Amino acid sequence: MSKDLTVDDVRASRLHADEAALAHLKAQADQVTDTIATAELRIEQLQRSLHEAEGWLADLRPRYDALLQSIVAQRARVSPISLLPDEVLAHVFRMEAIAPDPTLSASGSSPLLTSATWAYDKCRAIAPFVVASVCRRWRSLALSTPDIWHYIGLPFTFENDTKARRSSLVRYVDIVIRRSGAASLAIVLGTAEGEAPKAPLCDVLRRVHPHLLRCVSLWLDMQLDNGLLDLLRGPAPRLELLRIGRRQTDSAIDWPAEAPLYLTGCRPLRVLAIFNVPFSISSAHTRFDCLVSLTILVTSVPVAILWDMLHSALHLEALKLGCTIEGVPPPGEAIELPLVTRLEFDTNAVMTLFEPYPNAVQFSGLRSLRCMHFSPGHLPRFEVFLRRYEPVLLEFELHGATHERDMRALRVPKNVTKLTVTRCNIAALCTELQTLHDDDTYTMPRLSSLCVEDAAFDTASCQAIMQLVHFRTMVDSESHANATRCRLHSVSFGDTTSVPIWFTQAIGRLLPPSPGTS
């Protein structure tokens, strides 16, 4: 039989178990201590290795950087652009700064502008900044080449006119003016639809005004009041191209009794365009010996101002008048403009100048005539002028003729070879071009090219054109052997004219091959 355990026996048993557990825990603690000591030793070894590696890396870094710079330098030496001398590279910069806009060339000569080249050109505006941000050499060379900083272009599309935006625009103008030195300036300040706030315009024009002496071209597409116009007073001896005012507006113009002295001394001026602003340049302070293109589109212009400019514009090649001429031309000899080959005018110019005074201005070299924005039925009032230049007129452009009486006026210019019509009565036009008159002649018998722009082509219009092309391309019949007519070789349609594909294909099949093609 087992003996009963006493309290002391139980206590002794528990003490023995606790001593065994404590010995086990002590063994584990000793093992962990050994592991920590090993890890610390390893860490110390790694720290020594890391310190040695850092020293090695610190020794290699300068050599690495030196080798990298050497590689870049060697590549730069073999790069074609890096082999160029500074003078040649600066010339390349000039080409880059000027190329986006053909209004200026590196030699300083400026070709005649078309309306497409007047607009703000972002590429040209940022070109010098792009060049100056490539590398240290290019930046140094760009900052020492004033010619590439010649363009000041601001679109002025102010949806949110803020003080910060205004400050940035003025700062941009200041930077370009400062870096341009004494180089010529081309200035383009334009607006989108609507009017730009006056304050930014004043800020920019005030900074431009002291540098009008350096302006080669000035483009201000904005409505200018007298306060802004006053900032255009002063000499501009380098000015070649000037466009001022907004074409879209059609407000009344109040011309001052005595014309202010705007932009005096513009002897090299070649292109002048004035849109809906009372602005003029007096021949007393500016000779128009170099003027080749003159555009005046205003509601009205005093005849004295127009005559003052035309009298000295002996080399004028293109004239565009869209205005009412106020007053009577001064008596005396007519103004001779023998080099004008292209003339454009509207109803107002006809009614106030060319109809009552057909001999006031003579264009012996006229070849191209454009009648723009004619009121229906008013073209016959211009027949006297048309008969005068009928022998030399080769190109005729008609805008807005919808009345049959306007079509009858087309019988006058018999030598026209190219006809362009915009927003015209297509059916009436085609009928007129097939009409045989009492003198055995057709309307525009020498016509070989027809262009239709901004017209709506329905079925009747397509049939009328098809009938005209067929009539103008077939051989004359024996019954009208004396009524000669040239064959149509070209029928084209403007970008704003929607023409069915089948129609253009059918026209192409009817037209004869162009001269010189097999």
Task: List the alpha helices (DSSP H) in 358-458.
Answer: 383-388, 404-408, 426-433
pLDDT at 484: 58
Question: CA–CA separation, 167 vs 252, rounded Å?
Answer: 34
Q: How far is CA 441 from the centre of its chain?
A: 45
> What is the C-alpha R_g of the chain?
41
Residues 6+ apart with CB under 8 A from 368: 341, 342, 343, 393, 394, 395, 396, 397
pLDDT at 101: 47
Domain extents in the chain: 409-518
Residues 6+ apart with CB under 8 A from 234: 209, 212, 213, 263, 264
Question: CA–CA separation, 339 vs 322, rounded Å?
Answer: 20
Residue 399, token pair as written in the block: 């805008």
Question: CA–CA separation, 185 vs 149, rounded Å?
Answer: 8
Tokens 């080099």 appear where?
339
pTM of the model: 0.74
Q: Is the sign of the CA dihedral 72, 78, 79, 85 positive or negative? A: positive
Closest CA to 153 of 208, 198, 112, 197: 208
The residues facing 498 across adjacent strands are 456
Tokens 């039989």 appear where?
1
- Under 8 Å between Cβ of 218 and 228: no
Could you tell me where the beta strands, DSSP code E, fall in 226-384? 241-245, 271-275, 293-302, 318-326, 335-336, 342-345, 361-362, 368-371
Backbone dihedral angles phi then psi of residue 424, each to the nearest 5 degrees: -115, 170
User: What is the three-class DSSP state of 296?
Assistant: strand
Tens digits of pLDDT across the chain (518 residues): 445 678 777 788 888 888 888 888 888 888 888 889 899 899 999 998 888 888 888 888 888 888 888 887 777 666 777 777 888 888 888 877 765 444 444 334 333 333 434 567 778 888 889 888 888 888 898 899 888 898 888 775 555 556 776 778 888 889 999 998 888 888 888 754 555 556 677 788 888 888 888 888 888 877 777 777 888 888 888 888 888 887 765 666 777 777 778 888 888 888 998 888 888 887 777 778 888 999 988 888 888 888 888 888 888 999 998 888 888 887 677 888 899 999 988 877 877 887 788 788 888 889 998 887 666 666 777 777 888 888 888 998 888 777 777 777 778 888 888 988 888 888 888 888 888 777 777 788 888 888 888 877 778 888 888 888 888 776 444 444 444 566 778 888 877 777 788 888 888 787 766 554 44
For residue 307, the tally of other CB atoms under 10 A from its CB is: 17
Residue 470, token pair as written in the block: 């067929």
Residue 32: C-alpha distances to residues 37, 38, 42, 140 (Å) = 9, 10, 15, 67
- Under 8 Å between Cβ of 185 and 216: yes
- Under 8 Å between Cβ of 339 and 365: yes
Residues 6+ apart with CB under 8 A from 199: 161, 166
Closest CA to 151 of 251, 73, 219: 219
pLDDT at 162: 65
For residue 22, the tally of other CB atoms under 10 A from its CB is: 10
- Under 8 Å between Cβ of 145 and 90: yes
- Under 8 Å between Cβ of 97 and 127: yes
Residues 6+ apart with CB under 8 A from 170: 200, 203, 204, 207
pLDDT at 516: 45
Closest CA to 152 of 194, 132, 130, 180: 180
DSSP letters spanning 232-278:
GBSB-TT--EEEEE-SS--------SS---BSB--TT--EEEEESS-
pLDDT at 161: 58
Side chain identity at 161, as an amino acid letter? D
pLDDT at 156: 58
User: What is the three-class DSSP state of 172?
Assistant: helix
Residue 252, token pair as written in the block: 């009344």
- Under 8 Å between Cβ of 369 and 319: no
Side chain identity at 421, as an amino acid letter? V
Decide the pairing of beta strands 241-245 and 215-221.
parallel
